[in-house]
Amino acid sequence: MAFASLLEHVGGMGRFQVLSVLLLSLPVLMMASHNLLQNFTAAGSEHRCRPRPEANATGLDAEALLRVWVPRGERCRRFVAPQWWLLEANGSAPNGSSGPETEPCGDGWIYDRSVFTSTIITEWDLVCSSRGLKQLAQSLYMAGVLVGGGSCREGFGRRSVLTWCYLQMAVMGTCSSFAPTFSMYCLFRFLTGMAFSGIVLNGVSLSMEWMPTHMRALVGTFMGYCYTVGQFLLAGVAFAIPDWRRLQLVVSLPFFGFFLYSWWLTESARWLVMVGRSHQALRELQKVARINGKKEEGDKLDIEVKGSGRVPQGGPGVFAYYGLAMDLQNFEFNIYIIQLIFGAVDIPAKLVSVLTITYVGRRFTQAFALILAGLAILANTLVPRGEPGGGGCGVPSALTSLVGPPGWVVSAFSGGFTPNSGVPQELWVSHRQTGMGLANTMSRLGSIMAPLMKMAGELFPALPFIIYGAAPVVSGLVAVFLPETRNMALPETVEEVEGRAPPKSSALDAPSG
């Protein structure tokens, strides 16, 4: 009996599977709160140089002080000496002057705190010459996601690594909220990113390996919708908590609860068989059978030792989505509404994707979604900046992001991510987790580059969009050559993946009598 048939033998999509999906999906609700958190904790705000300390002795109010000490519209320099003539209604610069002398802000900045009372920008003055550190912090977080994905290996199993990552996410996220310096903040965020990657990879593997074949697409889409709902949740929590330290703490504490209940989760029987721990796999299957009301069927299970296959290499990932989603202030519109829009476009995209991957196929859905996203980004470069959909900035662009090119991009990537999370699982065999880690590593390399591309855009504004658009088009064309996995059981040998052999019997077979 193949493993897919074995799952049906112990209950199919029974109470155990439903409860496991729910428990594994709850943390996904909070994943967006960490992955996209810097949209709010590192949000920029209007700022101007702080006047010299002696300026306070003049007795002027704050507005008058700024007028005589800071050039109008200037954010990074101030006057060396006060320009009193600026207080006069018809004042003019002194005769013979080539312009007041200015200097860098030597005493810090004054920030507009009407929207965000505190961010890492205002905390550590990440403005002017230090403004690139904001993008550096996000890239270091994504570097942690990269390292975490590359370190996911088969030797420790799914559940054990998942439990550890819940704890690491909780502890490192909490430590980030108390970070005394920017360097320590970056370190804790790096370690948080490592935990994020472990949760994604192991959570997907653990859920999919316990799912019957016909339920994989639906379960994968459901978990994707949990991430979508998490984006709405992030916008609401960030609006209610405008202080970055408190916000960081609030989105981190729930993972302590996820850590506690994760001890109930059941290790993947597929993985246990592949690593030769058949006796433990039998116990886990019998546990599942009892929960599903199939105790008698579970007691009949027999054990046979079966060898494991090898794992094929992973493919390229996609990073253009992160270039947009991790810099929402680029739209120059209410950041909370933009976060809701980016979450809202996921809803129809995932609905369409679950229908196409179920009735058309994984390969077509992924290839079409990636190519559509890439072409939408490239088309966005042809519209003048500030126009609807143009260059990703301006109020018209923000309002049309739901229906214009930016909205098509996010919708297409949402549709592409759904089959992308399942196809690797359905192609890799014994070292499925290692293969997922490799694929995740490739995609995270791109997500690390995404914030850095934003910095390159200061020199050539269209460059980020050209890169963001070309990468998914190429990936979509490559995806055309992937094998189709619709309605196929998870492979257990390399020959099954290559189509040279029919599915073999499982290591755990029910006796014919």
Mean pLDDT across the stretch 124-144? 88
Least confident of 213-217, 255-259, 279-283: 213-217
More confident residue, 508 or 392: 508
* pLDDT tier at 310, thresholds 50, 70, 90: very low
More confident residue, 301 or 240: 240
Best CA proximity match to 50, nearest among 78, 73, 81: 78
DSSP 49-103: EPPPGGGGGG---HHHHHHHHS-TT-SSEEESS--GGGGSTT--PPTT-S---EE
Mean pLDDT across the stretch 219-235? 87
Least confident of 259-268, 337-346, 368-377, 396-405: 396-405
More confident residue, 59 or 387: 59
Is residue 207 within 8 A of residue 219, CB to CB? The reply is yes
pLDDT score recorded for residue 425: 52
pLDDT score recorded for residue 318: 43
* pLDDT tier at 245, thresholds 50, 70, 90: very high
Best CA proximity match to 101, nearest among 82, 85, 87: 82
Give the number of other CB atoms < 10 A from CB of residue 382: 12
* pLDDT tier at 164, thresholds 50, 70, 90: very high
- For the chain, which domains are there? 3-44+121-498 (1.20.1250.20)
Best CA proximity match to 350, nearest among 217, 455, 453: 217
- Interior/surface letters 80-113, b for 16+ CB within 10 angstroms, e for the rest: eebbeebeeeeeeeeeeeeebeeeebeeebbbee
Residue 191 has pLDDT above 90, yes or no: yes
- Separation of CA 356 from chain center: 24
pLDDT in tens, 248-260: 999 999 999 999 9
- Separation of CA 313 from chain center: 23
pLDDT score recorded for residue 58: 67
End-to-end CA distance of the chain: 13
* Angle at alpha carbon of residue 333, lines to 330 and 337, rounded to 5°: 110
pLDDT score recorded for residue 154: 59
pLDDT score recorded for residue 168: 95
pLDDT score recorded for residue 402: 41
Mean pLDDT across the stretch 135-157? 78
pTM above 0.95, yes or no: no
What lies within 8 Å, CB to CB, of 223 at 6+ separation is 21, 24, 25, 28, 203, 204, 207, 421
